[in-house]
Structure 1
Amino acid sequence: MHFERSDLAGLVLVTPERLSDERGYFTRTFCAEEFAREGLVRAFPQASLSYNATRGTVRGMHFQVAPHGETKLVRCARGAIYDVVVDLRQGEPTYRQWRGFELTAQNGLALYIPDGFAHGFQTLTDESEIAYAITPPFVPGAGSGVRHNDPAIAVRWPLPVGAIADKDRAWPLLADASRP
């Protein structure tokens, strides 16, 4: 695996090494030893899958509030997504900055998102599936978010926003939101 650190401290793009032959390929998507060597979380007690029927769907921007902040390892298992993170760590020089990454089933990339970031994505294809490894497990009542179209953050989504949950549409603006 190759670990590429972002300019947003703690955010890491993980590129798996694929072994290919006439049958297809085999790849390790996680190795606790390699993650530990990189100083990353190496135990994820929860795994989740998100299925999205239509292109343009937006989910996010989500996080859990302290003391239940989440670290996530996110990859697209089917289709393609534009994965977005926003640094919500007050006091960091990159506070309120966002980055977007194209994660696809074909490129196999994963995004390691530490606690302190809001996370969301937009589907670039119909019938996408996104796999998450998460620590700690979800805590009811600790979930929060910021609006996907907050002008203070100004995420540039690649497609017009299609399906979006009422809950995601109603998250507060960053200025009024709780913090991770």
Structure 2
Amino acid sequence: MTALTLVRGDITEQSVDAVVNAANSSLLGGGGVDGAIHRRGGPDILAECRALRAGRYGEGLPTGEAVATTAGRLPARWVIHTVGPAHTEDEDRSPLLASCYRSSLRVADELDAHAVAFPAVSAGVYGWPLDEAARIAVDTVRQTPARVAEVRFVLFDPRAYDAFAARID
């Protein structure tokens, strides 16, 4: 059984086996969590992302999928990059958001990662309402069989922390 924990803080400071990056499809860095991970982790992450773009993910990483790279200078061993969907009122994209968590846990199992830190995927610039993002994240992690011993949701914003805390308690 995977233990769920909650931390208010900076995901780039987590000493875990793998940190999940809420990446954009280019894998080449961006804003928010993605930018923070690339800045703190250093050039090794970007170099591996460029290699992925030159090979298997020439068109970019599809929404809902996940892939791992080194963690560079982060205190983690790996970064698991996943591309969350943008929220829209016109289409139910929640299966894609759930896929981000399932795919990341699958990659974590492939890496034999025991502790994984997740941000609130898609709850920033992609506009996902916090309560719904927290429900999908927590329910998906609880329902996904994985060998991961701990999933740590690391939330920078107090509102995001409160939304996840309401789902975990």
Could you say whether these structures have the same fold, taking a TM-score greater than 0.5 normalized by the shorter chain as the test?
Answer: no
TM-score by length of 2: 0.31
TM-score by length of 1: 0.30
Higher strand share: 1
Please tell me whether Structure 1 or Structure 2 has the larger radius of gyration of its CA atoms.
1
Higher helix share: 2
